[in-house]
Amino acid sequence: MRKVRKKFILFAMLSIFVLLTALLGILNGISFTRTAEDADRVTQMLCDGHGSFDQSPPPEQPQGRFGPAWRDTQPLRASIQYFTVGFKKSGDDVKFVEQHLAGLSEDDAVAWARSLKNGETGWTKTVYRYRVVSDDGRTIVTVIDQSRELLSPYRILKISIVGELAVLLIAFFVLLFVSKRLLKPLEETDRKQKRFIAELEQELRVPLTVLDAGTELTEKEHGATDVTRSMRRQIKQMAHLLRSLEALTVLEPDEHNASTFSLSDLCNQVIDTRAADFEMRGLRFTPHIAPGVTLTGDNEGMRKLLDELLENQLKFSTGHASLTLKEENNHVLLLAQNGTDLAPRNAEAVFDRFTRLENAVGHSGAGLGLSYVKDIVKAQGGRISAELKDGTFLIKINL
């Protein structure tokens, strides 16, 4: 349930982040766009006035696009720093220079204009807006300083970023508080369900053990019959069903119950209990267990994991099977490999609950074994993957 809570908080935070980013992005985009549009009006006036606010337009163009270019000359000149360079019809020869930008020499203005003359309209050096206009073979480059006008949009941008971070931080703590109470009924239901399944599994195990013992005693006294053999098959199926029920009661890891144990010894112990089963089925089983491999976690959970891996190999192996344990890049690597008659496919589906592939026909089980293995691996904080190709089925566990 802790994983469900983490996912809920993660997706909620992601949704809030996307919505806030989109909203603030639109607002800041409008702010910068309006500033650019205002700057473009001024550069157009300068181009229409041939580089100056107070220069009258030529006779053939008595009025600019935004009205007479000479209107409000004094306020504009007082508030805007700019320079304009006009180039002759051919080459980079300069025809005129209007320089009203503080701290910039005329030569620097001409060099700057040359670097922009092949453009059209845009930003240069972050806070300068420029426009390039070609008229009668002449090219006019106008650059204005918008640093003061951009103060407000940049201030809004900074406030937006800080505000978004603050909202995300507040939202995180609110979700942390709310999610615990919101998911509490689900957590309680899940706990009751697992407790019920665990109690049911225990209640069924006792009479099943009695039936098994009674059947064994009957066979010893009167010999095996069709009835006793049928009972043994049914008892075996019931035992497997109980293991499936046990798989559904996997709980989240408890750090207080974690211990450090020898995984190498545990693997050898489980393999020893299953070796006779492989021989009875005529399967060639090859263990490769590196000595001295230790693990900190749930000892009993790992025992069940190993037993389930070997059970899966016993059921579905064709010809050979192997179990490999080794340390690699400071991680414990566990490989369960066996021959198979399945066609190549995406094998990850085998970890889904109640999944039974075509080679499961004729075998008992509910398709819970490998999903159980995956639950244990996740509880140990590890990763698991499956691969099916070239007649080989491989399960790779990284702990």
The pLDDT tens digits of the residues spanning 6-20 come to 888 889 999 999 999
Torsion sign over Cα 30, 35, 38, 40: negative
- Positive or negative, the CA dihedral 376, 382, 386, 392 is negative
Tokens representing 117 are 């003359």
Q: Where are the domains of the chain?
A: 2-151, 185-247, 255-398
Helix (H, G, I), strand (E, B) or coil at 304: helix
Average of per-residue pLDDT values in the chain = 79
> Cβ-count burial of 329 within 10 angstroms (0-12 exposed, 13-18 middle, 19+ buried)?
exposed
pLDDT of residue 391: 79
34-62 pLDDT tens trace: 999 989 988 888 887 777 766 544 434 44
Q: Which helix (H) or strand (E) holds 261?
A: strand 259-262
Do 301 and 378 touch, CB atoms closer than 8 A?
no
341 contacts: CB under 8 Å, gap ≥ 6: 318, 359, 391
Q: In terms of DSSP H, where are the helices of 49-126?
A: 73-79, 106-116
Choices 3.40.630.30, 3.30.2270.10, 3.30.565.10, 3.40.50.2000: CATH for 255-398? 3.30.565.10
Helix (H, G, I), strand (E, B) or coil at 323: strand
90 contact partners, CB below 8 Å, separation of at least 6: 137
Give per-residue pLDDT as tens, 329-384: 888 888 888 887 676 666 777 776 665 565 544 455 555 667 778 878 887 778 88
Q: What is the largest CA-CA distance in the chain?
A: 127
pLDDT in tens, 91-105: 678 888 888 888 889
The amino acid occupying position 290 is: A
**Residues sharing a CB contact under 8 Å with residue 316, sequence separation 6 or more, in sequence order:** 338, 340, 359, 360, 363, 393
User: Residue 304's pLDDT is what?
Assistant: 83
Confidence at residue 60, expressed as pLDDT on a 0 to 100 scale: 43
pTM of the shown model: 0.51
**Displacement of CA 110 from its chain's centroid (Å):** 51
In the CATH hierarchy, which fold is given to the domain comprising 185-247? Helix Hairpins (1.10.287)
